[in-house]
Structure 1
Amino acid sequence: MRKNGKLANVYLAAVFIILYAPIFYLMYYSFNSGGTMHDFKGFTWEWYKEVFHDTRLFIIVLNTLIIALLSAAISTILGVIGAIAIANVKKNQTKNTLLSFNNVLIVSPDVIIGASFLILFTMIGLKLGFMSVLLSHIAFSVPIVVIMVLPKLQEMSSSLIDAAKDLGASRWDVLSKVILPYITPGIFAGFFMALTYSLDDFAVTFFVTGNGFSTLSVEIYSMARQGISLTINALSTLIFLFTMILVVGYYFINQRNMKAGRMGVRK
């Protein structure tokens, strides 16, 4: 058993090294005064200063954050409504069908999704830009929220709802005071997952973005095509750190909710 445990730890460590080594390599050379991805000549903040002094890049970062926050918020609302609707379906066949439709955007290749949205927006005459990117991000984020929220709804005992109704609670009271508080961890998980997916998405955004509007993923791709620049390293490092802050923030929020739930059970 101990040998198996040690082998598992070694395997896990090797996986993390393979995954994170390229990221740390990129971060390391973001401080290289030599301006190349080899032969580290000295420490400098020059590339980070270029990032912060680039007004166009600041606008793109702002666009990315607005898109991510708006799409995450709207998709969380729609996803919670969808998850509750699916959970309340009586027939298993109908429920499985709805879940299958929900999972289509998750399992479909991003290139196909992006091309489909591009054709749709072209057909209806929607100008490519902020609105097209926002609608696309909402569309592929809603199924993610549904998947995160639905297990919490299935985990919840129906006796809680029956007890609330017996005590005279209205439908709104049941929803706002029983169901939503119980599935709050799933809602937060769905929101942060949608936010992360929106920040990281490139393929779909590349298809539906238009002239005069861009997001960080598309901008980094454009910068990389022009040649090696350590400004890309600095920008990528900042994005990675921001994502880590989101993950850590979600972890602490989740831990606090779990502690609050345990305290409630004890009372």
Structure 2
Amino acid sequence: MKRNGKLSNIYLFIVFIILYAPIFYLMYYSFNSGGSMHDFEGFTLEWYKEVFQDTRLLIIVLNTFVIALLSAAISTILGVLGALAIMYVRRRQVKNTLLTLNNVLIVSPDVIIGASFLILFTIIGIKLGFTSVLLSHIAFSVPIVVIMVLPKLQEMSPTLIDAARDLGASRWDVLSKVILPFITPGIFAGFFMALTYSLDDFAVTFFVTGNGFSTLSVEIYSRARQGISLSVNALSTLLFLFTIVLVIGYYFINQKGSRAKGMGVRK
């Protein structure tokens, strides 16, 4: 057993090295004064200053965060409603069908989703740009929110709702004062996951982005194709660090929800 445990730890260590080594390599050379990714000549913040002095890039950053926040907020609302609808569907066949359709969107290749949205927006006449990117991000974020909220709904005991109804609570009271407070950790988790996916998405965004509008992922790709520039390293590092902050925030919110639930059970 001990030997298997050591082998598992070694395997995980190797996997993490393979996954994170390129990222740390990129971050390391974002501080290189030499301007290349071969010889580290000295420490500098010049490339980070270049990022913050680039007006066009700052506008793209603003676009990215506006899209991410709007899509995460809207998809969270729609995802919660979708999770409630799936949870309280009486016919098992209909419920399984809805779950399958939701999961298919999660596992579908981004290239297929992006191409499908491109064709759809072209047919119905939606101009590629802010609106098309926002609608696309909402579409692929909603299933993620549903998956995050559904387990919390399944954990909730039906007796809570029955007790609230026995005390004279209306449907709105049951939803706003019983169900939503109970599934709040799942709602926050869904919001942060949707926000992270929107910030990091490239494939879908690449298909539905028009002239004059771009996001960070597409901009980084475009700059990387033009040649080696350590400003791309600096920009990628900042985006990676921000994503880590979001993940840590999700972790603490999830832990807080678990502790609150534990205290409620003890009482």
Scaled to the shorter chain, the TM-score interval is over 0.9
| Correspondence for 2:133 | 133
Query: More displaced, 5-14 or 237-246?
Result: 5-14
Which sits farther off after the overlay, 157-166 or 75-84? Answer: 157-166
* Cα separation, 1, equivalents of 2:142 and 2:186: 13
Counterpart of 1:262, as a letter, is G
Write the deviation string for residues 14-52 of structure 1: whole angstroms up to 9, x where unpaired.
Answer: 111111111000000001111111111111111001001
Deviation digits for residues 159-211 of structure 1 (CA, Å, limit 9, x no counterpart): 11111111111111111111111111111111111111100111110111111
SS state at 1:32 partner: coil
Cα offsets for 1:102-144 (capped at 9, x unmatched): 1222121111111111111111111111011000000000011
Q: Paired residue for 2:151?
A: 151
Cα distance in 2, alignment partners of residues 119 and 178 from structure 1: 42
Alpha-carbon offset, residue 265 of structure 1: 2.2
TM-score by length of 2: 0.98
Question: What is the one-letter code of the residue matched to 1:236?
Answer: S
- Aligned counterpart, 1:13: 13
**Separation in structure 1 between the aligned mates of residue 187 and residue 77 of structure 2, nearest angstrom:** 9
CA distance in 2, matches of 1:150, 1:259: 19
Structure 1 counterpart of 2:39: 39
d(CA) in 2 for partners of 1:49, 1:265: 51
Q: Return the alpha-carbon distance in structure 2 between the equivalents of residues 250 and 144 of structure 1.
A: 14
Task: Within 5 Å, give how 1:244-259 maps onto structure 2.
Answer: 244-259=244-259
Backbone CA RMSD of aligned residues: 0.9
2:204 matched to which residue of 1? 204
Q: Name the SS of the counterpart of 1:149 in structure 2.
A: helix
Query: How far off is 1:98 after superposition?
Result: 0.8
Q: Kindly report which structure 2 residues correspond to 1:6-155, keeping only aligned pairs within 5 A, or say none.
A: 6-155=6-155
The CA deviation at 1:264 is 2.2
Amino acid at match of 1:136: S
Decide which moves more: 9-18 or 26-35: 9-18
Q: Which shows bigger deviation, 45-54 or 103-112?
A: 103-112
Post-superposition CA distance 1:88-112 (Å, at most 9, x none): 0111111011111112221211111
Task: Note if 1:220 corresponds to 2:238.
Answer: no
State the one-letter code of the partner of 2:49. Answer: K
Q: Distance in 1 between matches of 2:262 and 2:96?
A: 32
| Length-normalised TM-score, structure 1 | 0.98
The CA distance in 2 between the partners of 1:11 and 1:143, in whole Å, is 32
Could you tell me how far apart the structure 2 residues matched to 1:38 and 1:221 are? 21
2:161 corresponds in structure 1 to 161
Mapped to 2, the partners of 1:240 and 1:252 lie a distance apart of 19
- Looking at structure 2, the residues matched to 149 and 5 of structure 1 have their Cα atoms a distance apart, in angstroms, of 33
- Ranges in structure 2 where 5+ consecutive residues have no aligned partner: none
How many residue pairs get matched?
A: 267
Give the distance between the partners of 2:4 and 2:100, measured in 1 at CA: 38
Aligned residue in 2 for 1:261: 261
Distance 1:15 1:180 in 2: 39
For residue 171 of structure 1, what is the aligned residue in structure 2?
Answer: 171
